[in-house]
Amino acid sequence: MKLRRERRPEPEAAGSARRTPGNGVAPPPVSLVPGVSSTDDFTIKPGGARLGEMLVDANLLTEKQLVDSLEMVKSNGGGLLGRVLVEMGLLDDRELARVLAEQRSLEVIDLRKTVPAAEATELLSETVARRLLAIPVSVGDDGVLVAVADPTDATLTELREIIAKPVHLAVAAQSDIVRAIGSSYRVLAAIGTQVQAFEAKDSKRKTVKAEAAVASDFAPVVQVVQLLITQALRDRASDIHIEPQEDQVRVRYRIDGALHEAMSLPGAMGPAIVSRIKILGNMNIVERRRPQDGQISLDLEGRQVDIRVSTLATIRGEKVVMRLLDKSRPLFQLADLGMPDDTAASYQELLSAPYGMIICAGPTGSGKTTTLYGSLGEINSPERNITTIEDPVEYIFPMINQIQINEQAGITFAGGLKSVLRQDPDVLLVGEIRDVETARIAVQSALTGHMVLSSLHATDSVSALHRLLDMGVESFLVASSVSAVVAQRLMRRICKHCKTAYSPSAEELAYLRTMHGEPPPDGFVQGSGCNFCAHTGYLERIGVYELLTVSESIRAMVIERASHDDLRKVARSEGMRTLQEEALRLVHSGTTTISEVLRSIYVVGG
């Protein structure tokens, strides 16, 4: 049951009087950070109002919900009432932080805007910070300000013992503290020690082959690779690029679709790092001229991670790209992908058909696999025999038969698809149509009463149809089998924590006018950069979709091999909204920026 919540007033501004248990006014404290005040070292005062009563009084909870929550705490053998309420979805953790602060006569600190100082975080190890859900924010003449999620005497006592300085507590939302710990304790900072250990033996290594050097420098290289992957996971990176340069190795992370430079390593370390990654991926460390592919499975910080590895020889050495698949992240449902309601309804209706072929089109990294998995989630039921053929199998589905491509064992998309057709399937998911043989079998499967889902590399929906024709599939087969094509891109969302107004450039405004887009009713916004978005102004991504339903008129044009422009005009006249139009709709709603549209949507036409 959803609650009607009364919004509490924001925390008092900097310099305002601080509440005390006796409702008096404390003398002006020494400010440790803007907007947060503190007094001398203290012990948390007992006897304040009970948390549950305060939540009911603030209309954040009903009495029945409070009784039910207390019963759940009791049945679980104890625990914190506030945490249980947040986990049940009855309370927002920022609301909980405000009430806890009021109960304990403490200040609330907003870690979305306040950056913990480096000299403060050095006073507490990351392990302890995560265990206590606490992060030092600043150091002043009168002590250390620490943001905590649970302001108890036990937490304060342990912080005093560890920091060995006067400690002042402020309350912050638990989710904000976890994010702040991840961004403040950069594991890459520990790489310097490993690099020094590696370079200490550099003179002895000059005449040793790279693969032998891995053994002699085992510990430093292992630690460097581990730290690079760990930081990439914390930064929500999808890919790690390790690129040899003339005198250094450049490391870049792809975060929300854009590459960001992470660090540089000594050039001499490059071959050893590549060899270490090859060992993890069961690849040939001796072969350095031919491209290789491998796969790594790791358990990092309690998360199961699969990593696809690709190596490629360049003129300066081997380049490595690692794609990270965090299996702890939940699979998206279609409703979460960003499809407008009418597009999602049309797409779900197409999925419910007993046969036909639906193609997801777009470049690498445009979210095609995510959309296909979301589609499977919609149609997965005990009444359907669903089989997938993937390279690789990225996520495991319950009650779905998933086949991993293994070309060395003779399992290819085409060969695997032939075998699957003998297994009485209802729905087939072909990870990617790469060649004409796979395309033909997929088309024939759709024509013989199967629902086929697949992905294809193409710039837009009409181009996907032409791509099948260019592969050599007969036009009448394409027209008869394909039910719809979904072209898509992923665009970065404006960070909701640092959204601010701005004036677009002349180029951006000219593009908006050319595409007949409308400015946002409340003005243009962008992200100014904060802790949560790594100061990029963007946080997470949203899908942009172009749904082409193959109607009778489109079928006739495909059979006649009509041009791209003609097909596109007819599709638009029948209601198809283009990628550009959908992207500018997100600009109008304040979800993304014009510059992000220019970066992501590069197909021609309007």
**What is the residue-wise DSSP string for 530-582?**
-GGGTTSSEEEEEEEEEEEE--HHHHHHHHTT--HHHHHHHHHHTTPPPHHHH
527 and 536 Cβ atoms separated by less than 8 Å: yes
CA–CA dist 275, 288 (Å, integer): 9
467 and 458 Cβ atoms separated by less than 8 Å: yes
Q: Which two tokens stand for residue 223?
A: 């630690």
Q: What letter does residue 335 receive in the DSSP assignment?
A: G
User: For position 483, what pLDDT does the model report?
Assistant: 97
β-strand 356-361 against 451-456: which pairing, if any?
parallel
CA–CA dist 233, 240 (Å, integer): 10
149 and 97 Cβ atoms separated by less than 8 Å: yes
User: For position 189, what pLDDT does the model report?
Assistant: 65
Query: What's the per-residue H, E or C state across 406-426?
Result: EHHHCECHHHHHHHHHHHCCC
593 and 569 Cβ atoms separated by less than 8 Å: no
Specify which residues 456 forms β-bridges with. 361
Count Cβ atoms within 10 A of the Cβ of residue 509 and give its class: 0-12 exposed, 13-18 middle, 19 or more buried: middle
Of the candidates 535, 580, 585, the one whose C-alpha atom is nearest the C-alpha of residue 341 is: 585
pTM of the predicted protein model: 0.72
**Edge-to-edge strand order for the sheet containing 386-390?**
401-404, 386-390, 427-430, 451-456, 356-361, 482-494, 538-549
**Helix axis angle, 436-447 relative to 461-471, nearest 10°?**
110
38 and 29 Cβ atoms separated by less than 8 Å: yes
User: For position 37, what pLDDT does the model report?
Assistant: 39
Residues of the chain with pLDDT under 70: 1-49, 77-79, 187-190, 192-193, 201-219, 328, 602-606
Residue 9 preceded by cis peptide, ω within 30: no
User: For position 472, what pLDDT does the model report?
Assistant: 93
Of the candidates 511, 510, 508, the one whose C-alpha atom is nearest the C-alpha of residue 526 is: 508
Q: Give the helix/strand (H/E) hosting 195.
A: helix 191-199
Provide the mean pLDDT of the chain: 84
Specify which residues 541 forms β-bridges with. 492
Q: How many residues does the chain have?
A: 606
Each residue's pLDDT tens digit, 406-433: 877 778 888 888 889 999 999 999 999 9
CA angle centred on 19, ends 15 and 25, rounded to 5°: 75
User: For position 204, what pLDDT does the model report?
Assistant: 54
User: For position 22, what pLDDT does the model report?
Assistant: 39
Q: What letter does residue 17 receive in the DSSP assignment?
A: P
CA–CA dist 449, 341 (Å, integer): 29
Of the candidates 177, 453, 479, the one whose C-alpha atom is nearest the C-alpha of residue 334 is: 453
17 and 104 Cβ atoms separated by less than 8 Å: no
Q: Give the helix/strand (H/E) hosting 357.
A: strand 356-361
3-state helix, strand, coil in the chain (%, to 5): 40, 25, 35
In degrees and rounded to multiples of 5, residue 183 shows phi and psi of -85, -25
213 and 205 Cβ atoms separated by less than 8 Å: yes
Q: What letter does residue 185 receive in the DSSP assignment?
A: S
Q: Which two tokens stand for residue 398?
A: 């319950």
Each residue's pLDDT tens digit, 164-187: 899 999 999 988 898 888 878 876
- Which one-letter amino acid corresponds to residue 447? L
CA angle centred on 88, ends 182 and 180, rounded to 5°: 15
Count Cβ atoms within 10 A of the Cβ of residue 483 and give its class: 0-12 exposed, 13-18 middle, 19 or more buried: middle
CA–CA dist 375, 488 (Å, integer): 14
- Which one-letter amino acid corresponds to residue 60? L
* Radius of gyration of the CA atoms of the chain, in A: 28
User: For position 34, what pLDDT does the model report?
Assistant: 38
Please report the DSSP string for 108-177 in residue order. Answer: B--TTTPPPPHHHHTTS-HHHHHHHTEEEEEEETTEEEEEESS--HHHHHHHHHHH-S-EEEEE--HHHH
Of the candidates 386, 470, 488, 388, the one whose C-alpha atom is nearest the C-alpha of residue 432 is: 388
Of the candidates 273, 280, 304, 274, the one whose C-alpha atom is nearest the C-alpha of residue 294 is: 280
β-strand 292-300 against 258-266: which pairing, if any?
unpaired
User: For position 13, what pLDDT does the model report?
Assistant: 38
User: For position 202, what pLDDT does the model report?
Assistant: 59
